[in-house]
Structure 1
Amino acid sequence: MIRKAHLRRPGLIAVALAALAVSCSAAPKPDAAAGGPAMTAATAAAPDGRDTLPGDVTPSAAPTSDLYAPTSGEKVRDAFATLQATLNDSCASDCAYLLARVNKELQELNSAMKNDPKGPGHFPEPLQKMAELNKTLAGDSSYENLSKHQAMLIGTRDFINTWMQGHPDDYR
């Protein structure tokens, strides 16, 4: 009897694992009765295909071809957090991506500071640095121009990071 149970155990384990593998790898099929993709509460709430969040008041602008174009309506703390995410990055792996991202994050923070309920006067030094950077870049966000002004771009990011660290009430 002991031998039979000993031989069954590996077989049962193999069957159980096979059943789990099949159930985990099977993709759910769309609802065929609906005549199209499965409708969820999220897609029903956003029939035009855009995702909406509870805090959204107006739909976002039409998507642009520029992946690094700044978005609007962001809070200072959120824009600052995404800018901080670039602090440990360098041009070693993909300089074009990094410079475009730093520029985008700075532009979003600039917009958030100008639209903050405390008013733009609450952020005088960062807004002044951004004005200087924007004057230097002259609206040209090409890799060649960002690379030419890389020191100023990264310097502006680092200055604003230091300034914001001294004003924790603005990003917490």
Structure 2
Amino acid sequence: MRCWAAAALASCTQDTPQDAASASSPASPSAAPADNADDADQAASEPTEEPALPAEPAPEAVRDAFATLQATLNDTCTPGAGDCAYFLGRVTQELTELDEAMRADPKGPGHFKQPLADMRTLFTKLGTDRSTPHLEKHFSAIVTTRDGINTWMQDHPDDYR
């Protein structure tokens, strides 16, 4: 007579090892401890499948980057007045993120040829200097690039809606 630990609460039954094996399933609480240990060992040795991260940013990356750039449209500053550090730094950062999103978009950089060219021109002028005096020197180019990209995007609503 065998009493399985989980089945002991309900009743003890007399069965053969073959009957016990067929009566228990891996999901059943009446599975033999040795069976569970084997299953656990096997599961531990198998690589776990984690959801694959997309190789490219999702299409909404351009939409999201454009939305944050667009949020600057009503903002401005007065070069030389000391109120441009945040504004110009933010617009420049938003343009950088939009540039990256457009280059990585599944539509390909060819779809965003004009805005990418405009940003490349701006980034060439700016170089690596992101100091406030340098950004203020290029205030007009930064704002003109932002506004031009906004106009281009308005003509391509499928890219941001």
Task: Pick the TM interval, shorter chain.
Answer: 0.5 to 0.7
- Note the C-alpha offset of 1:142: 1.1
Q: What is the correspondence of 1:129-148 to structure 2 with a 5 Å cutoff?
A: 129-148=118-137
How far residue 90 of structure 1 moved from its aligned partner, in angstroms, is: 1.4
Within 5 Å, give how 1:51-70 maps onto structure 2: 57=53
Structure with larger Rg: 2
Who is 2:63 aligned against? 77
Amino acid at match of 2:116: L
Counterpart pick for 1:161 among 129, 133, 150: 150
- Which residue of structure 1 aligns with residue 24 of structure 2? none
Tell me which residue corresponds to 2:17. Answer: none
Structure 1: 4+ residue segments shifted above 6 A: none
Write the mapping of 1:2-151 to structure 2, written as runs, cut at 5 A: 57=53, 75-91=61-77, 94-151=83-140
- Structure 2 unaligned runs (5+)? 1-50
Identity, % of aligned positions: 60
- Aligned residue pairs total 105
User: What whole-Å deviation, never above 9, does each CA across 1:109-160 have from its counterpart, x for those lacking one?
Assistant: 0000000000000001000000100110012111111100000000000000
**Structure 2 residue aligned with 1:9:** none
Per-residue CA deviations over 1:22-67 (Å, capped at 9, x if unaligned) read xxxxxxxxxxxxxxxxxxxxxxxxxxxxxxxxx9949xxxxxxxxx
Q: Secondary structure at the match of 1:152?
A: helix
Structure 1 residue identity aligned to 2:69? L
**Cα RMSD between the aligned structures?**
2.3
Q: Give the drift of 1:168.
A: 0.2
The yes-or-no answer on 1:152 pairing with 2:141 is yes
- The TM-score, its normalising length taken from structure 1, stands at 0.57
What TM-score, normalized by structure 2, do the two folds share?
A: 0.61
